[in-house]
Structure 1
Amino acid sequence: MMDWDKLRIFHAVADAGSLTHAGDALHLSQSAVSRQIRALEESLNTTLFHRHARGLILTEQGELLFDATRAMTKRLEAAEARIRDSVEEVFGELRVTTTTGFGSLWLAKRLPKLYAQHPDIKIDLMLEEQVLDLPMREADVAIRMKEPSQADLIRRRLMSVKMRLYTVQPYLDQYGTPETLDDLTSHRLICQNTRSTQVNAGARLAQELLAQNVPSVLTVNSYFGVLQAVLNGLGIGILPDYVTEDHPQLIRVMPETESNEVPVYLAYPEELRHSKRIAAFRDFVTAEISDSQHRLRVAHNP
């Protein structure tokens, strides 16, 4: 059976790529770390690192062991956080998954408020279109652009989103304002590539508009890229409506053209029902959305 202490030292060395840096992190001398690594290699009868002048590189066997220690470390951190969750404090890592667009354009810029409320929380923000498996603990909490279908999840509908057409005034000054779909033949359309993974409503709207024989098109694989191109006056972009609060210079065009409604859900595993971290994140997101919707209502109906 492998020695836990040696595994802990191996993990630190593999993570740092250096005996010296690992020793600093563990408060051990380089020679002590080196002895433990040699002893572990001898007990396994294998070589775990290739030694180079620039540092250490894992062998194939070392990679296998590092995968195992990384998983162990994650499980231990999660256990520690769940134990700490049982007391009245918000502490530890919270793995949040959501789409690249929502995470980069809406959530990330609001996180300073959450950290101000709970400075000891550690957010691991995973932005990807792939739906991670919450019951299998690939993430702790998800914000998804459709109702989750997995069992054993607690879910809450947060809001609805629509994809709409936006540009900026300098672009309109130069190219005019389109009024109908036919007018798009005189404009540049900016959208997510319809082959990119995205909500169906956004892809369908892009397909409908691209069918108008738009002569100039820029496709990007994220709404963050679409937004940057629009803000720089490159054309008319298909964007989720939640971007307008943070970018008041956006001007909506062709208001009769929009996607179907996209529901936004927050979900987390049933077993985390009593997690203080989950509750803190859920309450924060819910409050931010409520505040955003109130500000938009006031702006539209002063």
Structure 2
Amino acid sequence: MSNLTDMEIFARVVSAGSMSAAGREMSLSPAVVSKRIRRLEEKLGTRLLQRTTRQIAMTEAGQGFYERVVAILASVEEAESFVSRGSAKARGNLKVAVPTSFGRLHIAPHLGKFLAENTDLSVNLDLSDDFVDIVGDGYDLAIRIAELSDSSLVARRLAPVHRVLCASPTYLEKYGTPQSIEDLVANHVTIAATNQDPWRLAGPDGIETVRTQAPVKTNSNEVVRECLLSGVGVALRSTWDVGPELREGKLQILLPEYRASKDVGLYAVYPSRQFLPAKVRVFIDFLAGLYGSSPYWDHGLEDWLRLPSNARAG
């Protein structure tokens, strides 16, 4: 078992890119990680890694060894997964980074059910709208609402994210309903958080760029939401955020032929390694089962969102 642990440490170092980053993943000091790598090299009688003050690089022997170690660890993980699935248990503490509003609305209310199903697991839920360094900050995974680009991380899409233009009846009674993008820009108050301005909207004539203009400037999406509900102006909001208000008539969708231009989705993002811990896997599976391709927050809005008929649910 000690040899297997040393091999896992070696694989983590290669995957993370440094001994300090691998140490953070496994809650080990860089000195301990370095000692275990040296012990493995002494046992094998060859150098696996070339070290510098800033980075590591595999030797030719290290590259061949790494490829075989990953295959071994994947087999071990598969065996452990089989047992874990059979006992329906995951153990340890799960550290998750989640956007503030989404975490409050769509993760926190479901934690009771998740923990009841996984009694040997605890969750450290970190709500933040900052773009966290998953590996560097020691997270097991992050939930992101984004158009993901290529990275060293892997991701699983959990649900689509629809963004619509909307306003309150109070606002519309005072200012009228915009009939076109040109009308919206020329005659209406438009609100956005500073990091979401301008809007890029996809419509019948292609991409339209709208620079928002409102008497309120803020970096908070929650402030934008409250201003929207109180009748300050028009906003571009995700249906996961304002679905109930749309269904109840507290908000109305405007110019439904226009949507956010980016293919934004809800993703679980985690370090790119082949031996995924069971605690991460069960949490991702739980969220995927909870949301899915037709998430509950879109129910009742299918006609507006133009979802295919086989995606509609009650």
Offset of residue 274 of structure 1: 4.2
**3-state SS in 2 of match to 1:143:** strand
Q: Distance in 2 between matches of 1:295 and 1:165?
A: 16
How many Å separate the matches in 2 of 1:167 and 1:139? Answer: 37
Alignment of 1:1-302 (within 5 A): 75=27, 88=87, 89-118=89-118, 121-136=121-136, 138-144=138-144, 145-147=146-148, 149-151=150-152, 153-184=153-184, 185-193=186-194, 196=195, 203-205=198-200, 208-210=209-211, 214=213, 216-247=214-245, 248=247, 249-260=250-261, 261-271=263-273, 273-290=275-292, 293=295, 296=298, 299-300=301-302
Residue 281 of structure 1 and its aligned partner are, at CA, apart by 1.3
Structure 2 unaligned regions, length at least 5? 1-22, 29-80, 202-207, 304-311
- Seen in structure 2, the aligned counterparts of structure 1 residues 131 and 253 have a Cα distance that, compared at 3 Å, is same
Q: Which amino acid aligns with 2:285?
A: D
Q: SS of the counterpart of 1:165?
A: strand
Aligned residues: 216
Q: Percent same amino acid among aligned pairs?
A: 25
**8 A Cα contact 2:158 2:293, kept in partner:** no
Change (3 A) 1:96 1:181: same
TM-score normalised per structure 2 = 0.56
| Structure 1 residue 120: Cα displacement | 5.1
Contact 2:159 2:292 in 1 (8 A): no
Q: Matched residues in 2 for 1:166 and 1:265: separation?
A: 25
In structure 2, C-alpha distance between the alignment counterparts of 1:258 and 1:279, rounded to whole Å: 33
Superimposed CA distance per residue, residues 135-189 of structure 1 (whole angstroms, 9 cap, x where no aligned partner): 44631111221336333x4421223324321122232233321111233343322
Secondary structure at 2:295 match in 1: helix
Do the aligned residues in 1 keep the contact of 2:96 with 2:124 (CA within 8 Å)? yes
The Cα RMSD (Å) is: 3.7
SS class of match (1:208): strand
Q: Which segments of 5 or more consecutive residues in structure 1 lack a partner in the other structure?
A: 1-70, 77-84
Secondary structure of 2:166 counterpart: strand
Tell me: CA distance 1:209–1:156, structure 2 relative to 1, closer, same or farther (3 Å): same
Q: 1:120 to 1:224 in 2, by over 3 A?
A: farther
- Counterpart CA distance in 2 for 1:284 and 1:246 is 23
